[in-house]
Chains A and B, each alone.
Chain A
Amino acid sequence: MIVYLDNSATTRPRDEVIDVMNNMLKIDYGNPSSLHRMGLEAEKKVESSRQIIADFLRVRKDEIFFTSGGTESNNIAIQGLINKNSRAGKHIITTEIEHSSVLNIFKAYEQRGYDITYLNVDEYGFIDIEQLENSIREDTIVVSIMLVNNEIGTIQNLKQIKKIISKKNNNVKLHIDGVQAFGKIKVDIKDLGIDTFSFSGHKIHGPKGVGGLYVRKDVNLDPIVFGGNQERGIRSGTENVPGIVGLGKAVEILRDNFTQEKEKILSLKKYFASSIQEKIDNIKMNSLLDNRSAPHILNISFIGVKGEVLLHYLERFNIFVSTGSACSSHKKGKSHVLKAINLKDQLIDGTVRFSFAYSNTKEELDFALDKLIESVNEIRKITMR
């Protein structure tokens, strides 16, 4: 049995997704920009995917742009917004718990002389609303916030955030990194007045290397990718047609099963969390278990255990988890998110992230739980003196 509990890192594409992609690669391989019939067919498929995604997000079809994934979407949106509005000011705001694809853009702009505010978060990962209110100035042009944190699952209160931004400076553009939220929680992009929203295919059982960006109709971006004007100039380059069609298929299935799958994932998370609480001592839950946290992410610190060691213990039983976030696992430094929520170093070292998918079963979790208890006990026995 393979128990894959690393669904925040990536997900297994659904079989239907693989089938349509296969078809696009083998048969309908036309370039949407070609004038002939094969090009037209490809274009129709891309547009149909765009429609599915727009409907799912309840936005207009011409507000959806395809990209290579979350990182590129964040880059296009944030840089595009800053560059377009740089005459209005050089102050930009983000949080200290963003994904590196956002933080590194801010760092780059910091070097170019922009003034940056990094919002602090509390022990659960919620941003300091008061600090946000006090930070917004006349020359603030962009605020970028991730809706669901990829390491601990915290869902920011966007309604409140948007209200404060509008009150203080209505010209500020709001970018939302929605990669971990997309397909996991309901997002009212229109109601919330979000300007740009990024999402990715491989987090929702679609393919890797494809994602998208919502850009509100009346929002202008300076492009950062130049070429043949595909995606109306926002992201030039021949479209990843198989990827886009696969993403459309993934969203279509998700749309039909959203509530049911979400409920299932949430109940798996709650079951796993409470079982661990019951059976393993000396742990700390870093994810909330109520509706302020995403249904698929469960972050726990095991005292006296190194997260990486636990990960390798579990992989021997074909149980796959993550320490902190997968994207930062190649770096030696400790997770900036766990530091930001003020977790002690010793706890950070022992942190593991379990993330669930619709396809996980209770049997899998019981097996994982068994091996988890066994591994934690053994590691503690070896390392604690």
Chain B
Amino acid sequence: MDRVISISLGELTLKGKNRSYFEKSVVKHIKNAVKDLGAPKVYKDLGKVFVEVNENNIETLIKRLKKVFGIVLISPCIRTDKDIEEIKKASIAAVKEAMEKNNVSTFKVQTKRADKKFPIKSMEINRQIGGTILRNFESLKVDVHDPNLYVNVDIRNKCYIYTDKIRTYGGLPVGTNGKGLLLLSGGIDSPVAGFMIAKRGVAIDAVYYHSYPFTSERADEKVKELAKILSRYCGKIRLHSINILNIQREINQKCPEDELTIITRRFMMRIAERIANQNGHDVLITGESLGQVASQTIKSINVTNSSVNIPILRPLIGMDKTQIIEISKDIETYETSILPYEDCCTVFLPKHPVTKPKIKDIEESELALNVGELIEFAINNMEIIEIEP
């Protein structure tokens, strides 16, 4: 009896001709996620993926696998040879373990035969295993409608017995759907936005704007930490760190005060677009949510958009703050996001920012600035940090 984790791939299996491409990708991500845990063996058995484990690292393994997009279910299994006596023994062990964790009074055996050549039919296996469990656990009864415990017997090249199904994020394997550049701030929203797009199979890099020495090095550390947490879901992230103090200073001196924020945001977009074009990112990703702040009104978003040609994905656009916070807590970015350091957006905060800017007005204000030169300077002084999970 060996211990393995079985992995179910959800919507991937609907991908028709591309299926093997998606499968290969998810297997690669699984291997990456667990490679430092004693390089456990990852293998396929008739369409399902399995990871071999030892008792000591099973919890860590599950935690890691939960973060691999493309997986929908994880089950810790006992693996046996295709021998009915072995299967019976394993079932007893599985039930015993389940009973130690939870209150169990009723159960049902479910058998699947991916290997149709196995001589005993599913119904007969259910009957035999059920009988064995009843004989070994006096307190248990069979309930085929609403049991406390499902004992699953999965017959492939090997046989797998499991009682637990852990639901994960699903989605598509990172990298199967192009590359995106996330505008990552130290706040709550942008890491969530990155997570949501990565979940749709997009590989993520990030750009981060700061105004040192107006902002602190601690704020930098915080963004790096957020990128690190994200990288546990979406793999290695290249974090482009850009000082925009120079730009903010120019805007502050030469443009109307109420337009500070919106013009700064247009610069952020333009710089991000440049980085994206240079590095093959297909889209920009932001954490904007409609109406949250002045720069996120529908008119402001239009004005921001008009500064660039690259598509911008805004996965949080229709969400409210409580929903976003819920996700950020779930993906473990929240505690880091709420650390209180000045960020570049609060350095020059106009008292009354425009909420209904017009493209024409903003473009006119920008005439006072040497846009190209400012962007050039910022990009030339960019710092790139490789963030590994």
Contact = CB atoms under 8 A, between A and B. Distances in A.
Nearest to B212: A312
Contacts of A383: 252, 348
Contacts of A309: 213-214, 342, 347
B148 interface: no
A315 B213 contact: yes
Nearest to A332: B340
Nearest to A330: B340
A279 B348 CA distance: 27
A382 B216 contact: no
Interface string B203-229: 000000000111111000000000000
A312 B342 CA distance: 11
Interface of A: 306, 308-309, 312-313, 315-316, 330-332, 382-383, 385
Interface residues of B, number: 14
A193 B202 CA distance: 71
Contacts of B252: 382-383, 385
Contacts of B213: 309, 312-313, 315-316
Contacts of A331: 340
B257 interface: yes
B215 A312 contact: yes
Contacts of B348: 383
B216 A312 contact: yes
B356 interface: no
Contacts of A382: 249, 252-253
7 contacts: A308-B342, A309-B213, A309-B214, A312-B213, A382-B252, A383-B348, A385-B252
Interface in B132-153: none
Nearest to A384: B252
B216 A308 contact: yes
A27 B104 CA distance: 59
A350 to B, nearest CB: 14
B257 A312 contact: no
A252 to B, nearest CB: 37
Contacts of A330: 340
Nearest to B216: A312
A351 to B, nearest CB: 15
A320 to B, nearest CB: 12
Given A309-B214, A312-B216, 15 more contacts: A306-B214, A308-B342, A312-B213, A312-B215, A312-B217, A313-B213, A316-B213, A330-B340, A331-B340, A332-B340, A382-B249, A382-B252, A383-B252, A385-B252, A385-B257
Contacts of A315: 213
A330 B218 CA distance: 10
A178 B215 CA distance: 34
Give 3 nearest A-B pairs by CB, closest first.
Answer: A312-B213, A332-B340, A313-B213
A332 B249 CA distance: 25
Interface string B188-208: 000000000000000000000
Contacts of A313: 213
Interface string B243-276: 0000001001100010000000000000000000
A154 to B, nearest CB: 28
Contacts of A306: 214, 342
Nearest to A312: B213
